[in-house]
Chains A and B, each alone.
Chain A
Amino acid sequence: MKKIISLISITLLGTQLIAQNPKVGKMVTGKTVFKNARIFVGNGTELSQGSMVIENGKITEVSNSDLSVKFPGSAIIDLKGKSIYPGIISPNNSLGLTEIESIRPTSDFQEIGEYNPNVRTLIAFNTDSEVIPTVRGNGVLITQATPEGGVLSGRSSIMNLDGWNWEDAVLKADDGVWLNWPSKFGMSFNQATFTREVKKNENYQSKIKEIETFFLQAGTVSKDNQYENLKLSALTGILSGSSRLYLAISSDKEAIDAIAFAKTQKIKYPVIVGAVYSDLVIDLLKQNNIPVLIPSTHRLPERADNDVWSAYKLPSRLISKGLLVGMYYNDSYWRTRNLPFVAGNAAGHGLTKAQALSMITINNAKILGIDDLVGTIEAGKLATFVISTGDILDMRTSRIERAFISGKEVLLDDKQKRLAEKYIEKYGIEK
């Protein structure tokens, strides 16, 4: 009987394990020295025999010599043959805001209406999403939970991919407002010929005027403490320079207008989001010191006439012109685990591997305004990093063994790995 009861309890325990996400990360206590590691700092440099000290969730010291000698009482982890990378930052994403793409009840990233700068993704972020651990497994440790749709979609927040709840997971709340710049062209369907055509958007100018008016009114209201308008006052942060304005554009021409808009509105931290190609736009971005977040390399060219590898080559083209370039994964949130690889793909087409890594670590951190916290393996930053035996930008060798978010070691287990275990056991095959 006893045996049966214990069997049941084990079974129950098993069920519970299967149904739940892995436990939330536990803070590494005391001073810990990681030594003998190849450290990819994230800013382009690399330490071949690196040591890193972490304490209270922060990196306290990094060196290319053995720091374990300096701190004899600390815990020492020898990473011979292994590498340390900064945790990868994934901007512009709906991870945590939706669970199953086609099921509307699981979706919380698009509000109705066109002007919603007041809505916040922060409070909809689901730390218990089963997708999160699968993304974390490839080294993506930070996400920018981003709203979509309308003209002003809402406010994003930057979240650690670990935490008991959103309050616990947030790295930077309400970091910016998302503006979908209107498109000069739209698709139309010609009833006469039954073909799809690209047509000029006749309302383009009036839409721009509408946005300008909105910003103008927001500016006025921000000077009047008595006036209450949730939508308008949601812009206070970007107007004062405490948060970003993300301008999502669909092509070069719109980017030109969006840059001009940011300039006339005196936006302190505008970010252009989208692929830009023309020299004119690149020059404008450079002159105005505006960074750009570009979509994944895994895109088809816009048009048949374009360079077959235009998307692969774009990061190198923009970075070589001196722009600050970050990269986001523009496809489904559950595919974000490929962010390191799509960045790596650019290294096959003009970037160095170090530049490719910077794009999704320090560059993304700078663009999102969190480079004081994360983005590199440097003293003073949060201990958000991974340990891998291979190159985390290349799926061929990438093997992430451990991951730490703000000094807490997170488990790399996930639902998918457990399902695999279950059937490996069923068939009795080797792992």
Chain B
Amino acid sequence: MRKNYGLFLVLLSFWYSSLGQTTVPVNGVRDKRPEYSLFKNATLHVDSKTTITNGWILIKGDRILKVGKDFEFPKEAMIYDLAGKHVYPSFIDLDSDYGMPEIKRQRPTNFYDTQFNSQKEGAFSWNQALKPEVNASDIFKVDDKAASELRKIGFGVVVSHSKDGIARGTSALVSLASGSEKESLLKTQVAAHYSFEKGSSTQTYPVSLMGSVALLRQAIYDSKWYVAGGNSSERNLSLEAMAKNLSLPSIFHGKSLLDELRAEKIGKEFGLKFIQKSGGDEYRRIEEIKKLNSHIIGTVNFPKALDVEDPLDAERVSLEDLKHWEMAPANLAKLAENQINFSISTSDLPEKSTFLTNIQKAITHGLDKNQALEALTSSPAKALKIDDLVGSLKTGLFANFIISTEEIFDPKSKIVENWIQGKKYVINDLSLASINGKYEITLPQFNKVKLDVTGDNDKPSIEIVVNDSTKIKTTTVRDNNFLTINYKKSEKEPGTIRMSGLIDGNAIKGEGKDEKGSNFSWNAVKVSDAQKSKADSVKKQEKPVLGSNIFPFTAYGNTSIPIKEDLLIKNATVWTNEADGIIKTDVLVKNGKIDKVGANLSVPGVKIIDATGKHLTNGIIDEHSHIALFSINEVESVSSEVRQEDVLNSEDINIYRQLAGGVTTSQLLHGSADCIGGQSAIVKLKWGETPDNLIISNSPKFIKFALGENVKRGNAPQTPNRFPSTRMGVEQVFLDAFTRAKAYKAEWNAYNSAKIKTGLKAPKKDLELDALVEILDGNRNITCHSYVQSEINMLMKLADSLGFKVNTLTHILEGYKVADKMKARGIYGSTFSDWWAYKMEVKEAIPFNAAIMTKAGVMTAINSDDAEMARRLNQEAAKTVLYGGLTEEQAWKTVTLNPATMLHLGDRMGSIKAGKDADLVIWNDNPLSIYATPEKTIIEGAIYFDVEKENQKLTEINDEKNRLIQKLLQEKAKGTPTAKPQFRGRLQDIHCDSILEYDGVSIENLDAFLNENNHQH
């Protein structure tokens, strides 16, 4: 004991020296109060793992001095007896914008009026969405109203940052105790914050998610180059801050688990380990999240129950939304179950007061209450290395703790007080004694009446019970020991009787005025104490039964991802795409590859599929597609830095729909808004896999180029301000880009070949030019959107002179006019079957194009550029027989072997040959016929679409929806507030003309769209 007191003295002297003085002068007489407080006899939850019963905490000023039991303490200490109460460390929120200025998101500007430069004044980044120089500590302002909301739900400190931009700068640890900014600011530059959202930036770039990725990557490269010497003529405060922030803990603020996977890839590139803000959907692919090994900042903003009483309206509610409503509250439990380190934030909650109720909901859904506590205290503290200040009840930490009546997450628990840095905040005043019970009373209006008092101490509710049967509700207000009661004698009578009374122990005495205004007096005497209220006897809620997870998390998702099987497909009419042509034979599939093609194959132990009377072909390869993407176009004339691989949407229903049309592989291209577009993603339609697993391994590199009306914004209602606006300008954009790329390449070559690098500055890595250098080096292939012969001719000549090759001309609707020139250069053509007349540059397009190109010696494919057309590319291929007379074999190759060849995948797919990928389709008819339908679509030996299971799947979707709707209806019957369903807008059909952004609204359509909407409301 003596030893302990010694330590106490040491600490005492330490705190005196560090806390006694301030720089702020006092106006008046110094008023120093006792600084010690002792809290006795509480159940102390020191942290999520340690509990001390009948424990003591001694605090001095704003710090905890000692935690334990029965220790000596200074006589001047104020003593608080907390018998029966629980004490917890106050909570910590890592994702707050408390005290930050309001962010006004910009309405997307007119697409044709590009803002190229930053409007921010000062020596800052070229792009307004990059604000690494913003320190929350510099702009923080105390907001006691917001602080009070957070205190009420148990928070003591928050890590706050300005939620604006892609690089958002740093956060500060701030106290929620009332006081000045100087007192509230506990730690500056706690973490660096990033997101994919450009926030208040008015600048046009980036318009797409992939642009956000590219901008962030380039900014990090720029900052590293800058601090390593950079360009001596440029001083850039943003880059300085950016580089400095890289050494801080980094938090990425995504909206979904796909954002988390996306951010992780960026982190890996730069050796950054992001703490990830959750969108609340990790349960969908928990294994992938587990692999990240990241701290997750969880959310308890659960979707509201939906109103689904009208069956026709309920049709519009998606299975995904219904399932998410059910699963979201179990998300935190899933994280815990999988040993994923997480904390919990209030940031998404529109009403902060629902926080604890939502935590309880998460607990009902399987979250352990100790893990919930850890996620609100020690876990966030450790994640940002602020556990030396907050997060547990330990000596030397801030005196931040909550006192509650019961265990904190018990539904009937109330927070009594929240102490923050030694300051007391009363949350629920329990100093009022309960008056609950039954009272006998005489009232002039009735013969035999009783009062039944229930409810909270400070908010009692009173019923008048007449003749032990009829109950009359009253409106009652308690103001300390004074009661006001109003009631009506019965529902039908108009007059209200008013009573007031004074609480005096077990009696209430008072007077009243009846409906006619006559006075009366009354006296109520308690005859029995309150029975245990309903809340006390609430049974522990049972863990709800949840539906199964599906991959992907949308209709037609599977409970498990299809796996490869060894298959023997017998007696099919096989379209080999090889010298054998179309033959009746067997095909053996082993380990995802075509193993053998031959008659009467017999292999034991493999699954046999009898395809007698059926046709077997390769999976269709769509050379030009925009499905399964979150964004299509970036806005710069040269946007080669963006990658479609960054924005894959593995959950797009169009993947499944296309499997049902026999498609197995798609090149997902950038749109045609820019002369040089982004880098392609080549994917297999493995429904249910993650975005990364969709990408074909070692897939050849491709990039989109574009010419003509789209890049010159030819269909703009007014003259656009972006260069180029003519085909003349388009040529110059290419010429300039490749001239720059050549210089860049030379610079790097010089640097790399220098034997001694001391004194040499490495050139700046430029993501845009890197892609162009890859083209010059023959490592990246061009797919160029092109229509009319003049511009095609230009590009071919330009490529010749600059020394690169055009791989594919896509659309190429006037390919029939330049087929000889294409053939001479070995350029492939990928075209529509019969599109024309939709704009000026396609007025000479002809359906005979594919056949003429083919006959003139140009390898030709038919592509879709459209989610609807893609699922019937077999029919489009058939049109080359109708228009131009290709043979059926030739026609079939236009959607299989030819696109495989032009994607440089011809050795791996495109024909039915031993050793190639087993991407196969079984058709019920000749695949070129309008009457043909795929029966099975197989990718690498796994069956992804099976017509026999189609009805079963539909039944499952309907059953699951019905189960969830019934559950929602029960919720509504229970009185849970419901929300009108927010139906998702269907993404508009996407073509390369779509400047798709902002959840499916094309920027170029947005104004019209908003106006239309305004008319409606």
Residues of A within 8 A of B (CB): 99-103, 131, 185-189, 191, 194-203, 252-253, 278, 298-309, 332-335, 337-338, 341, 344-345, 347-349, 393-396, 398-399, 416-417, 419-420, 423-424, 427, 429-431
Over the window 806-818 of chain B, the binary record of Cβ atoms lying under 8 Å from chain A Cβ atoms (1 yes, 0 no) is 0000000000110
Is B14 positioned at the interface, with any CB of A under 8 Å from its CB? Answer: no
Q: In the complex, what residues of A have CB within 8 A of residue B999's CB?
A: 194-196
Contact of B837 among A100, A347, A429, A431 (CB under 8 A): A100
Chain A: CB-nearest residue to B107? A191
Q: At the interface, yes or no: B957 with Cβ under 8 Å from chain A? A: yes
B926 within 8 A of A: yes
B283 within 8 A of A: no
Q: A396-B878, A420-B848 are in contact. Are A299 and B931 (CB under 8 A)?
A: no
Contacts of A302 in B (CB 8 A): 986
B426: min CB distance to chain A, Å: 34
- With most chain A CB atoms within 10 A of its CB, the pick from B835, B929, B1006 is B929
Alpha-carbon separation in the docked complex, A100 to B837 (Å): 5
Q: Which of B373-381, B749-757, B839-847 contacts A (4 or more CB under 8 A)?
A: B839-847
The yes or no answer to B11 lying at the interface (CB within 8 A) is no
Closest to A424 in B: B852
Chain A residues near B1009 (CB, 8 Å)? Answer: 187, 189
Contacts of B835 in A (CB 8 A): 335
Asked if residues A194 and B318 are in contact (CB atoms below 8 Å), the reply is no
Any chain A CB within 8 A of the CB of B793?
A: no
30 contacts between A and B (CB under 8 A): A186-B1013, A188-B1016, A189-B1001, A196-B985, A196-B1000, A198-B982, A200-B980, A298-B868, A301-B657, A304-B555, A304-B556, A306-B555, A308-B656, A308-B660, A308-B950, A309-B660, A337-B834, A338-B834, A341-B875, A348-B930, A348-B931, A349-B933, A395-B878, A396-B878, A396-B882, A396-B928, A396-B930, A423-B852, A427-B856, A430-B855
Report B302-345 CB contacts with A as 1/0, cut-off 8 Å.
00000000001101101110000000000000000000000000
Which of B843, B867, B950, B1017 sits near A202, CB closer than 8 Å?
A: B1017
- Could you say which residues of chain A place their CB within 8 Å of the CB of B884? 420
CB of A305 within 8 A of CB of B555, answer: yes
Name which of A199, A334, A393, A416 has the most chain B CB atoms within 10 A of its CB: A416
- A-B residue pair count with CB separations less than 8 angstroms: 180
Alpha-carbon distance A341/B874, docked complex (angstroms): 13
Chain A residues with Cβ below 8 Å from B660 are 308-309
Tell me the complex Cα distance, A396–B880, Å.
Answer: 9
Would you call A189 and B933 a contact (CB within 8 A)?
Answer: no
**A100-B837, A396-B878, A416-B847 are known contacts. Are A341 and B983 too (CB-CB below 8 A)?**
no
Least distance between B683 CB and chain A CB atoms (Å): 19
- Shortest Cβ distance from B603 into chain A, in angstroms? 33
CA distance A131 to B846 in the complex (A): 11
The minimal Cβ–Cβ distance linking B305 to chain A, given in whole angstroms, is 18
Q: Is the CB of A429 within 8 A of B855?
A: yes
Candidates A186, A298, A398, A429; contact of B1016 at CB < 8 Å:
A186
**Looking across the interface, which residue of chain B has its beta carbon closest to that of A427?**
B856
B653–A197 touching, CB < 8 Å = no
Interface residues in B968-1005 (C-beta closer than 8 Å to A): 980, 982-986, 989, 998-1001
B837 / chain A contacts, CB cutoff of 8 Å: 99-101, 131, 332-334
Q: B529: CB under 8 A from chain A?
A: no
Q: CA separation between A337 and B989, bound complex, in Å?
A: 21
Q: Tell me how far the C-beta of B918 lies from the nearest C-beta in chain A, rounded to whole angstroms.
A: 23
Q: Which of B319, B838, B929, B983 contacts A197 (CB 8 A)?
A: B983
Return the 4 tightest CB-CB contacts between A and B, nearest first: A198-B983, A420-B848, A196-B985, A334-B837
A100 touching B839, Cβ below 8 Å:
yes
Query: Contact mask B566-579 → A, CB, 8 Å, 1/0?
Result: 00000000000000
For B554, the chain A residues whose CB sits under 8 A away are 304
A102/B843 contact (C-beta < 8 A), A298-B868, A393-B930, A396-B929 known: no
How far, in angstroms, from A337 to B926 measured CA to CA in the complex? 22
Task: Decide: B1013 and A189 in contact? CB cutoff 8 A.
Answer: yes
| B112 is an interface residue with CB less than 8 A from chain A | no
Q: Which of B580-625 contact A (CB under 8 A)?
A: none
B932 within 8 A of A: yes
Query: How many angstroms from the CA of A198 to the CA of B988 in the assembled complex?
Result: 13
Q: Quick check: is B819 within 8 A (CB to CB) of the other chain?
A: yes
Q: How far is the CB of A349 from chain B (nearest CB, A)?
A: 7
* Bound Cα distance from A203 to B748, whole angstroms: 63
Contact A278 B985 (CB under 8 A): no
Q: Is the CB of A348 within 8 A of B932?
A: yes
Is B522 on the interface with A (CB-CB < 8 A)?
no
A298 and B318 contact, CB distance less than 8 A: no
Is A395's CB under 8 angstroms from B840's CB?
A: no
Given contacts A298-B872, A308-B556, whether A185 and B983 have CB atoms under 8 Å apart is yes
- By a CB distance below 8 angstroms, the chain B residues around A198 are 316, 982-985
Q: B318, B656, B867, B985 — which one has the most chain A CB atoms within 10 A of its CB?
A: B985
Instruction: Look across to chain A and name the residue whose beta carbon is closest to the beta carbon of B888.
Output: A396
* Cα distance A131–B1000 in the bound complex, in angstroms: 32
A299 to B866 alpha-carbon distance, docked (Å): 11
Whole-angstrom distance between the alpha carbons of A431 and B657 in the complex?
A: 36
Chain B residues within an 8 Å CB radius of A333: 837
Asked whether, in the complex, the Cβ of B931 is within 8 Å of the Cβ of A300, the reply is no
Contact of A420 among B107, B852, B930, B980 (CB under 8 A): B852
Q: Closest chain A residue to B1010 by CB distance?
A: A189
When distances are taken between beta carbons in the complex, the residues of chain B under 8 Å from A419 are: 816, 844, 846, 848
Chain A hits for B928, CB < 8 A? 396
CB distance from B326 to the nearest CB of A (A): 15
- The answer to whether A394 touches B929 (Cβ under 8 A) is yes
B836 near A427 with CB under 8 A, answer no
Of all chain A residues, the one with the shortest Cβ separation from B951 is A307
Identity of the chain A residue whose Cβ is nearest the Cβ of B926 in the assembled complex: A396
Could you tell me if A396 and B846 are in contact, using CB atoms closer than 8 angstroms? Answer: no
**B763 proximal to A (CB < 8 A):** no
| Bound CA span A100–B984, Å | 33
B641 CB to nearest chain A CB (Å): 24
Q: Quick one: which of B220-262 are within 8 Å of A by CB?
A: none
Nearest chain A CB to B980 CB, angstrom units = 8
Among the listed B105, B840, B998, which residue makes an inter-chain contact with A196, where contact means beta carbons less than 8 Å apart?
B998
